[in-house]
């Protein structure tokens, strides 16, 4: 009977140890994370980030997405620990639309937006009535309209387009060439370029489609503006040691040199 009682006590103690094990594990520093990234240039860049982070004891698993909606949804749901694909204006628009508790923790690169064309070599060659494709999401669509305005093709209503107020085609108040602005999903724009006079295309999709920022654009965004990309995490994780290690690894000299050598100005380190 005594041995049986001791056995029961030992079993109970073991059960308690198991029950409290998750709390003990949670107290330990996290050393393996999942980071959501976009297809294209981010994939090769993060191969370098992974090597730098590994030297600091952080293992990074990347999850590649082909659109701009899923990475924030996956992060908010806890399927990712971080993502690195967006700029602050886009994140702000997603927070406003979906209520995400996601915050930026570090800068990565600036990916200048370009107006691409397979038919014309300059803005001046665009004919009256030309059809121009722009992104259908609020942040990148706004970005495209600002670039068209900078190129002198359109003029936007005062008070929109900047300072957090996204412009839409309805905000165009002057369009001397009668351009037709067609809103499409960002991922669809490279595939639609053959049917358009020109299109605003995000750098990662252009890269994946084999388009060159230097050779295939007729207008290019300022590479150092408010559209620098970021690393984002859930608000509750912003001060975690692994988040700081991730940012430190990305903002290392090794990654900076890789970006400058590999992309030759089509991507610019923002840190």
Mean pLDDT score, 66-79: 96
The answer to which of 68-72, 161-165, 229-233, 252-256 has the lowest mean pLDDT is: 161-165
Task: Please report which confidence band the pLDDT of residue 164 belongs to, taking 50, 70 and 90 as the band edges.
Answer: low
**Residue 188 burial (CB count, 10 A):** 14
Strand partners, 230: 86, 107
Residue 196's contacts (CB-CB under 8 Å, 6 or more residues apart) are 117, 131, 132, 133, 182
CA dihedral over 82, 43, 65, 114, signed as positive or negative:
positive
Structural domain of residue 141, as residue ranges?
Answer: 114-220
Q: Which residue has the higher pLDDT, 7 or 199?
A: 199
Tell whether 51 and 146 lie within a shared domain: no
Tell whether 121 and 202 lie within a shared domain: yes
CA distance 225 to 209: 24
Q: Specify if 233 maps to a domain.
A: yes
Mean pLDDT score, 200-213: 91
Q: Specify if 21 maps to a domain.
A: no
Tell whether 138 and 208 lie within a shared domain: yes
Tell whether 120 and 101 lie within a shared domain: no
Report phi then psi at 107, rounded to 5.
Answer: -85, 150
Tell whether 68 and 106 lie within a shared domain: yes
Q: Which of 220, 235, 256 is the last residue of a domain?
A: 220
Whether residue 46 contacts residue 259, with contact meaning beta carbons closer than 8 Å, is answered with no
In CATH, what number is assigned to the domain containing residue 215?
3.40.190.10
Tell whether 133 and 106 lie within a shared domain: no
Q: What is the pLDDT of residues 129-152, one digit of tens each?
A: 999 999 999 889 999 999 999 999
CA distance 141 to 125: 23
Interior/surface letters 130-147, b for 16+ CB within 10 angstroms, e for the rest: bebbbbebbbbbbbbbbb
Q: Specify if 100 maps to a domain.
A: yes
Whether residue 72 contacts residue 101, with contact meaning beta carbons closer than 8 Å, is answered with no
Q: Which of 203, 220, 237 is the last residue of a domain?
A: 220
Q: What is the dihedral of CA 68, 70, 73, 74, to 10 degrees?
A: -130
Q: Specify if 63 maps to a domain.
A: yes
Question: H helices within the chain, ranges in order?
Answer: 2-27, 41-55, 70-77, 88-98, 138-150, 189-192, 203-208, 241-250, 253-263
Strand order in the sheet with 217-220: 180-184, 131-135, 198-201, 114-116, 217-220
- Please state the domain count of the chain: 2
The answer to which of 60-64, 152-156, 264-268 has the lowest mean pLDDT is: 264-268
Tell whether 134 and 194 lie within a shared domain: yes
**Listed residue (85, 104, 264, 88) closest to 186, CA to CA:** 85
Tell whether 152 and 211 lie within a shared domain: yes
Q: Specify if 20 maps to a domain.
A: no
Tell whether 154 and 74 lie within a shared domain: no
Whether residue 165 contacts residue 159, with contact meaning beta carbons closer than 8 Å, is answered with yes
Whether the per-residue pLDDT at 184 is higher than 90: the answer is yes
Tell whether 168 and 212 lie within a shared domain: yes
**Residue 105 burial (CB count, 10 A):** 18
Q: Specify if 42 maps to a domain.
A: yes
Whole-prediction pTM: 0.70
Q: Specify if 6 maps to a domain.
A: no
By CB atoms closer than 10 A (0-12, 13-18, 19+), residue 111 is buried
Q: What is the pLDDT of residues 6-37, one digit of tens each?
A: 444 444 444 444 444 444 444 468 999 999 99
Tell whether 38 and 105 lie within a shared domain: yes
Q: What is the pLDDT of residue 200?
A: 98
Tell whether 184 and 241 lie within a shared domain: no
Instruction: Retrieve residue 138's tokens.
Output: 């609020």
Whether the per-residue pLDDT at 77 is higher than 80: the answer is yes
């Amino acid at each position: 009977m005594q041995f049986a009682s001791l056995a029961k006590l030992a079993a109970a103690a073991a059960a308690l140890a198991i029950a409290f094990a998750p709390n003990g594990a949670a107290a330990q520093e996290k050393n393996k994370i999942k980071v959501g990234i976009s297809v294209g240039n981010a994939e090769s860049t993060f191969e370098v980030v992974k090597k730098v982070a590994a030297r600091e004891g952080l293992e990074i698993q990347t999850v590649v997405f082909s659109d701009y909606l899923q990475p924030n949804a996956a992060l908010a749901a806890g399927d990712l620990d971080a993502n690195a694909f967006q700029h602050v204006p886009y994140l702000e628009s997603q927070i406003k639309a979906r209520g995400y508790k996601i915050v930026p923790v570090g800068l990565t690169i600036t990916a200048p937006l370009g107006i691409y064309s397979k038919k014309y070599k300059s803005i001046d060659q665009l004919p009256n009535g030309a059809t121009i494709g722009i992104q259908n999401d609020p942040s990148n669509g706004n970005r495209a309209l600002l670039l068209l305005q900078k190129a002198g093709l359109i003029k936007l209503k005062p008070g929109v387009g900047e300072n957090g107020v996204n412009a839409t085609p309805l905000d165009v108040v002057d369009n001397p060439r009668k351009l037709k602005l067609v809103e499409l999903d960002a991922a669809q724009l490279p595939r639609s370029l053959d049917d358009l006079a020109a299109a605003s295309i995000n750098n990662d999709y252009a890269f994946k489609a084999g388009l060159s920022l230097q050779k295939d654009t007729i207008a290019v965004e300022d590479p150092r503006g408010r559209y620098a990309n970021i690393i984002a995490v859930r608000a509750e994780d912003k001060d975690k040691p692994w988040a700081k290690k991730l940012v430190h690894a990305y903002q290392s000299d090794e990654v900076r040199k890789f970006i400058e050598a590999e992309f030759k100005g089509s991507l610019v380190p923002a840190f």
